[in-house]
Structure 1
Amino acid sequence: MDTRMDAQQQQQALAIRQHLIDTQAGIERFLLTQPLLVPLQPSAIHPLQAVPRIVIRQMLSLKASNTIIARAEAKAAEQGVSGIADLSELDLISCGCSRAKAATITRFAESYYRYPDDIDNWQQLDCETLLKTITSHKGLGLWTASIVAMFHFAHEDLFPLGDSSLRKAVSLLGEHGVILVPERAAPYRTYLASYLWQLLDQARI
């Protein structure tokens, strides 16, 4: 058993993977090479802390984004502020953020401090409303909103078609005769996306 999961979670993870195998023709030989994905749980991290990290990660490699996040966290600790969101635009840029991302992060923080209840209420929203609410913030696009919904609030049925890595994975698997139809993976499309990202990270496709 995966030591990160109890017996119930293990059973759930197996059922999710089997659902993906049953609905995506030819994918079985790829998914069975992968460790089971731990069933999603809502994060205990506040959106004010989570969103800046997700914004920084957009369009960057994991290594590059981790470097910027580490610099920003160190800068926040040095200044005695609570997190990345409380840094100024200039500080964020000095840590390696683009001007656009720095502006998005500071605008989001300003919005939270003006209307905290609006963002504190995100956890109560259904997925469609959550996506619309997040993207109403200037600079937060559908990709960012989808990642927040998937991995911060544990919405299990999202497949961000605009993600370039997922498009690449669909194309590469197609060359191996795997016909991916994400709609058929409902209500577990988030796990399909996660397995595809995992396959790419491990250079299995």
Structure 2
Amino acid sequence: MQNIHQQAVLDAHLLQLVSHDPRLEAVRQVAGPLHPRMHPSGFEGLARVICGQQLSVASAGAIWQRFSERGDAARDPQAYLLRYETGLEGVGLSRSKILTLQRVAQALGQGQLDLDAVVGLPVAQAIAALTQYKGIGPWTAEIYLMFCAGHPDVFPVGDLALQKSVSQALGLEPGIKPAALARVASAWAPWRSAAALLFWRYYGVQNRKDALPV
């Protein structure tokens, strides 16, 4: 599996993507250069993605900053389990996210979840392995696979920015649903992660803000 955290791989995938679907050349012209964004894998990376669920980029970043300042709780599952009940006041994590992180930390500590093994699975199997834990849905699993594992063929169809960006860029009906977006994105396999980065960048340029979710 080629890792899109490498600039050369991302560049190659983007060239192949645009050659395969010439409509995307205009999108690329607006988006400008793409650069990988990498976050650590393991508990730290998954915790960061969970922190960002259903939040703006700015809010998620502020919560993660406060969380990461609480010793090793944001990086080590055992440290998290020692602190999650009384040591996270003021961080801004909702109770549901605190419990989701507890379940993940326990599964990692007990050997029920092996994130290194998960990222080597085919996408559907990797998503299934992660979403068996309450509080982790497809979006969380897909964002983890993209930004923490560098998986090259993921397109998070539940992401609102991607829905808006694809609709606007390709002249599709506004408010495209995830199932319809999945059908559109299926044409971009096996470079769907590059396509997602392209459309996030396009959305960010059009709205003058950082649109990447983590």
TM range (shorter): 0.7 to 0.9
Aligned partner of 1:103 in structure 2 is 99
What is the aligned residue count? 191
Aligned partner of 1:162 in structure 2 is 158
**Rounded Cα–Cα distance in structure 1 between residues aligned with 2:144 and 2:17:** 22
Max Rg structure: 1
Tell me the secondary structure at the aligned position of residue 202 of structure 1. Answer: helix
**1:93–1:99 contact (8 Å) kept in structure 2:** no
**2:27–2:169 contact (8 Å) kept in structure 1:** no
Tell me the secondary structure at the aligned position of residue 143 of structure 1. Answer: helix
Q: 2:55 matched to 1:60?
A: yes
Deviation, 1:124, is 3.3
Q: 2:65 matched to 1:70?
A: yes
Deviation, 1:82, is 6.6
Residue number among 11, 18, 22 corresponding to 1:21 in the alignment: 18
* Alignment CA distance shift 1:82-1:71 (3 Å): closer
Deviation, 1:199, is 1.4
Normalised to the residue count of structure 2, the TM-score between the two structures is 0.75
Contiguous gaps of at least 5 residues in structure 2: 174-180, 209-214
- 1:54-93 deviations in Å (ceiling 9; x for gaps): 001121111111111111111x22xx65737514145445
Q: Would you tell me which structure has more helix in proportion to its own residues?
A: 1
**Rounded Cα–Cα distance in structure 2 between residues aligned with 1:114 and 1:18:** 43
Moved over 4 A (4+): 38-41
Tell me the secondary structure at the aligned position of residue 32 of structure 1. Answer: helix
Percent of pairs with identical residues: 26
Aligned partner of 2:29 in structure 1 is 32
- 1:32-69 deviations in Å (ceiling 9; x for gaps): 2434334688x6x3411111110011211111111111
* Alignment CA distance shift 1:117-1:158 (3 Å): closer
Mean alpha-carbon deviation: is it higher for 138-147 or for 88-97? 88-97
Contiguous gaps of at least 5 residues in structure 1: none
Mean alpha-carbon deviation: is it higher for 84-93 or for 165-174? 84-93
Q: 2:205 matched to 1:202?
A: yes
Deviation, 1:117, is 6.1
**1:73–1:84 contact (8 Å) kept in structure 2:** no
Instruction: Give the partner amino acid of 2:201.
Output: Q
**Rounded Cα–Cα distance in structure 2 between residues aligned with 1:198 and 1:65:** 18
Aligned partner of 2:75 in structure 1 is 83
Residue number among 133, 142, 148 corresponding to 1:152 in the alignment: 148
- Aligned-pair Cα RMSD in Å: 3.0
**1:89–1:99 contact (8 Å) kept in structure 2:** no
Aligned partner of 1:136 in structure 2 is 132
Instruction: Give the partner amino acid of 1:187.
Output: P
Aligned partner of 2:187 in structure 1 is 184
* Alignment CA distance shift 1:153-1:201 (3 Å): same
- 1:77-119 deviations in Å (ceiling 9; x for gaps): 2xx6573751414544531111111111111111111126633
**Rounded Cα–Cα distance in structure 2 between residues aligned with 1:176 and 1:55:** 30
